[in-house]
Structure 1
Amino acid sequence: MRVPGFWSFAARGFSLQCPGLLCCRLLGPSQATRNMSSKRKMDHLERTAGNNRQNALYPAEVRGIITESDTVKRLRIAVPPDFSFKAGQWVDLFIPGVEKVGGFSMCSGPGVLQREGIVELAVKYSKHPPAHWVHTMCTVGSQVAMRVGGDFFFDPSPSDPSVDLLLVAGGVGINPLYSILLHTLDLLHRNQASRRRDFNIGSAHLCYSAKNTQELLFKSSIIAACQEFPDKLSCDLHVTQQITDVDAHLQPFINRGRITEEELRSHVDLQRTLCFLCGPPPMIETLSKTLVDFGLPKDRILFEKWW
């Protein structure tokens, strides 16, 4: 699809100053030190300059806006037929009238794109202009443009060996991991429908921490997926600042306090586990070090930091 002239201009002309994400394999303490010690916050496009990106910039239209929590809105965005992405990737989001470029992970799976022509973004409120626009100015029918990028994804082929996924999320870091979980669920449905093993799907366990149950995004869908395939999918949901009683239907899945070393260790197999982590940098650095201390090879630990 040809990109309209406005968007061709926009891609060149927007200033590149926005908080964003960093996604990579765990390389070692020196890299984390360099990223955290910089006094000047790098913008999203600068921070992700080393990541793979698609060349195409796609026009898109907001078709739905859903309130996920007091602080998070989920956009349902219609895209052209040739738009594609891998579970866990993000988009550069270009908004008319907003100079700064947003960087947001998709929270939907590729299956939703195939079935409905829709991708979804869950955006937490902040004064960062793209996020602020989502919460204060975006309406159904708003026109945007998006470009897919990122090396943090799960995209198995039928011939790939089975792995066990450990997905670790903090706050809105759930977005790419929820996309990966949904993709795993779609592959399990595909195997089930075909009555054969089209894909070698191992297990997937999600450890997800937020302030309270209201901020645990997608919790009902996560629990439903785990109940549908209890031999394949499981989750531990954590709340760190819950001051009210937990709803009865959630109680079996809720843990008070942070994700623990013991919990992670119980879901790590040094030969089979592939770990994806996404959340605030301090959380990711602490937990990735813990996984390395367990003996999990660094090339089996992938992380994405939200700043």
Structure 2
Amino acid sequence: MLTLPVAEIRRATPESRIVRLSLDRAFAYAPGQSALIGLHGQPDRRHYSFATPPDAAAADGALEFLVRVGRDGSIGPHLDGIRRGSLVDVEGPEGRFIFPPALDARACLFVAGGTGIAPIRAMLLRATAMPGLSLSLAYSARSSRDFAYLPELKALRRDAGLRLLLTATRDAPDTWKHERGRLTPTRLSTLVESPETMCFVCGPPALVEDVPRGLMALGIADARILTEIF
């Protein structure tokens, strides 16, 4: 277990915060994995996925997590009163939702719902460093305000050729220029290049149940769809 100080807390969306912990030593994990975290010295900890790949964490000297908060900004007893300089215990890594070090595919489709973007972001950033991969991301959130890392994702679309589909399932203003509603097979079909596409799906239970069914209806084998409920 590591005990690390909080380097930064910043708003990602109205109901999520980016929490960065200073990292001054080697810490091995795979993109997609998670850790149990909580304020130092108290027993309550919860799982959060690493939001950056390990090479980026080492280069930045920080572990990054995307933390859901209440409408009043509260996080929960495991991180109650967290601020810059607070000590946080990190136990892990854990989980089998992992972006593999080698792929037998030329295309990857990432599907995220809500704060499920955290492990997907770690995978996506790793994938952008692998030459020859065609990358697509379908990202669903409740409202147009709930998309974390949106400027970065749009930059990846511009600079790395990421095919990006955004859909707001509930609320979006008239100025919203993207999709509305759930991720249907018809929408997903625009991002599936071939039956050999590797798919990584992370989000709330309904999304993780529905999206794989839609992908299999499009010809993707179950073995090529990795999922994580978030």
Structure 1-normalised TM-score? Answer: 0.68
Report Cα offsets for 1:186-211 as digits up to 9, x if no partner. Answer: x1xxxxxxxxxxx4431111000111
CA displacement at 1:126 relative to structure 2: 4.7
Q: Which residue of 2 aligns with 1:92?
A: 36
Structure 2: distance between partners of 1:134 and 1:239: 30
Whether 1:151 aligns to 2:96 is: yes
Q: Report the AA paired with residue 107 of structure 1.
A: A
CA displacement at 1:135 relative to structure 2: 6.7
Q: Which residue of 1 aligns with 2:86?
A: 142
**Does the CA-based 8 Å contact 2:15-2:69 persist in structure 1?**
yes
Q: Report the AA paired with residue 219 of structure 2.
A: G
Q: Which residue of 2 aligns with 1:279?
A: 203
Structure 1: distance between partners of 2:145 and 2:203: 17
Unaligned runs of 5+ in 1: 1-56, 188-198
Structure 1: distance between partners of 2:51 and 2:115: 10
Q: How many residues align?
A: 227
Structure 1: distance between partners of 2:218 and 2:136: 17
**Does the CA-based 8 Å contact 1:270-1:297 persist in structure 2?**
no
Runs of 4+ in 1 over 4 A off after TM superposition: 133-136
Q: Which residue of 2 aligns with 1:169?
A: 112
Question: Percent same amino acid at aligned positions?
Answer: 26
Q: Which residue of 2 aligns with 1:297?
A: 221
Whether 1:122 aligns to 2:53 is: no
Q: Which residue of 1 aligns with 2:139?
A: 208
CA displacement at 1:98 relative to structure 2: 3.7
Structure 1: distance between partners of 2:79 and 2:43: 16
Structure 1: distance between partners of 2:18 and 2:49: 11
Q: Report the AA paired with residue 150 of structure 1.
A: G
Structure 2: distance between partners of 1:246 and 1:178: 26
Structure 2: distance between partners of 1:71 and 1:211: 11
CA displacement at 1:269 relative to structure 2: 4.2
**Does the CA-based 8 Å contact 1:86-1:110 persist in structure 2?**
yes
Larger Rg: 1
Structure 1 or 2: larger strand share?
2
Out of 28, 49, 72, the position equivalent to 1:105 is 49
Q: Which residue of 1 aligns with 2:159?
A: 228
**Does the CA-based 8 Å contact 1:102-1:131 persist in structure 2?**
no
The worse-fitting range, judged by mean Cα deviation, of 271-280 and 131-140 is 131-140
Structure 1: distance between partners of 2:12 and 2:217: 36
Q: Report the AA paired with residue 226 of structure 1.
A: R
CA RMSD of aligned residues (A): 2.2
Whether 1:179 aligns to 2:122 is: yes
DSSP-derived class of the 1:168 partner: strand
CA displacement at 1:104 relative to structure 2: 0.4
Q: Report the AA paired with residue 203 of structure 1.
A: S
**Does the CA-based 8 Å contact 2:6-2:19 persist in structure 1?**
yes
Question: 5 Å matches for 1:36-55?
Answer: none
Question: 5 Å matches for 1:45-84?
Answer: 57-84=1-28
Q: Report the AA paired with residue 143 of structure 2.
A: N
**Does the CA-based 8 Å contact 2:108-2:197 persist in structure 1?**
yes
Structure 1: distance between partners of 2:186 and 2:172: 25
Report Cα offsets for 1:72-127 as digits up to 9, x if no partner. Answer: 11101112421122211111114235432210011123232121211110111159
Q: Report the AA paired with residue 111 of structure 2.
A: V
